[in-house]
Amino acid sequence: MIKRLLIFAALCTASQPGSYCFGQTRLSEQMAATAMTKWKDSLVVGSSKDGKARWVYQESLVLRGIEELYKSTGDKKYFDFIKNHVDFYVRTDGSIRTYKVDEYSIDNIPMGRIVLMLYKATGEDKYKKAADLVNQQLVGMPRTKEGGLWHKAIYPWQMWLDGLYMGQPFNAEFTKVFNQDPKRYEDLVNQFVWMENHSRDEKTGLLYHGWDESKGMKWADDVTGRSHHFWSRAIGWYAMALVDVRDFLPKEHPGHQKLNEILLRTAEGIKNFQDPKTGVWWQITDSIGAKGNYMESSATSMFVYALAKGVRMGYLPSQYHEVARKGLEGMKKEFIEQSNAGMINLKNTCRGAGLGNNPYRDGSYAYYLSEPIVTNDAHGVGAFILAANEMELASSKPGTKRKMTEKKVGR
């Protein structure tokens, strides 16, 4: 027997003004259909040089979108899709194919959230063992002097905005599900505080992509240690993490106030750099319309998701629902095209960006604009499903928490 959450939301109809659908089917379901067709088994990301699937964060983002869609529709095909993908990696003894704890890459943590979802749904011991393995990595991650998690062992003394999404939602959920030491909650809140302290620009309210405590990287400012540009998707990762971790933080925990203050500052910066003409956001956040810059779909999706969920959960003022609505409407015009029946394509996604490594990524304006722009990339597809599903949930009563009831069903 599987426990599933049935969420009562307004149905999409073609005649409803502002409805989030093409034809009679919701955008989230059409994007999911595209994902489930493109990645029937396991996901092979563009950076996989040998064409083999690996335990990667990109797959977790797609599966997170599918998970939320499963919760809102109750359609078992979504659950089966998730389980099939995870079971490709998680063996019966709980070991994980292609995963190496001692790489200490925070990018390898997010798939643990999907493992936790399956453990809670099935109670199968292999998922708990796999989650324990991921947690082993999280606990052993190297840290900055004040305690911030390095992004990867190969990137010493560095914190990236991306890393907050990669590590902390799993941290919060694992701590709650397995009744871990409550001090872990304080530590995860501090990760957000330290990241903002080191990356926030007071003038714009935006967050720089990365921070190097050693100030030794070529991409890092000699004085502040910050990278030099605002990459929208990096800010999007951070914003999504801010709203996701609070699903698991104890209700009375003082960290809620700190996280909410950070979310309010982050949301204001996001809002201030929304393209007033299209409603979407650009690859370099503060350079709307600048030469070489472009409207980017994964970041826009992440912003819409974070703002819409923030309003729904009562973390953000209701005015941000309109910001999110304009964002999704803009995506429909700028990024979405009809594919086969019941499927859509998502255009204008940056395939990937980072700092350092080989070949060296210098964090320059030119660098961020040099990465390939692709259609139906996992970063965009997963984030778009999350964003569209959130807006669909909120379409009837923005600003209210969704009602849920638990029901057991047979598999």
Supply the residues annotated as catalytic. 162
Which residues is 149 bridged to in the sheet?
Answer: 143
Task: Report whether 375 contacts 297 (CB < 8 A).
Answer: no
Find where tokens 């778009």 sit: 384
- The closest of 349, 341, 351, 345 to 332, measured between CA atoms, is 345
Q: Phi, psi (5° rounding) for residue 7?
A: -105, 125
Find where tokens 């909410």 sit: 260
| Cα separation values, 153 from 141, 149, 222, Å | 8, 10, 22
Distance CA(282)–CA(305), nearest Å, equals 16
- The closest of 273, 280, 392, 381 to 329, measured between CA atoms, is 280
- The closest of 297, 298, 335, 378 to 36, measured between CA atoms, is 378
DSSP conformation class of 6 = E
Return the SS3 of 69: helix
As given in the structure block, the two tokens for residue 391 are: 């807006």
Task: Report whether 161 contacts 234 (CB < 8 A).
Answer: yes
As given in the structure block, the two tokens for residue 203 are: 């003038």
Please, what is the end-to-end C-alpha distance for the chain in angstroms? 6
Distance CA(297)–CA(294), nearest Å, equals 10
Q: Phi, psi (5° rounding) for residue 203?
A: -70, -45
- The closest of 89, 104, 186, 185 to 137, measured between CA atoms, is 104
Strand 373-374 to strand 404-409: parallel, antiparallel, or no bridges (unpaired)?
Answer: unpaired
Q: Phi, psi (5° rounding) for residue 109?
A: -80, -40
As given in the structure block, the two tokens for residue 388 are: 């569209």
Q: How many helices (H) and strands (E) does the chain have?
A: 13, 10
Distance CA(290)–CA(282), nearest Å, equals 10
Task: Report whether 127 contacts 113 (CB < 8 A).
Answer: no
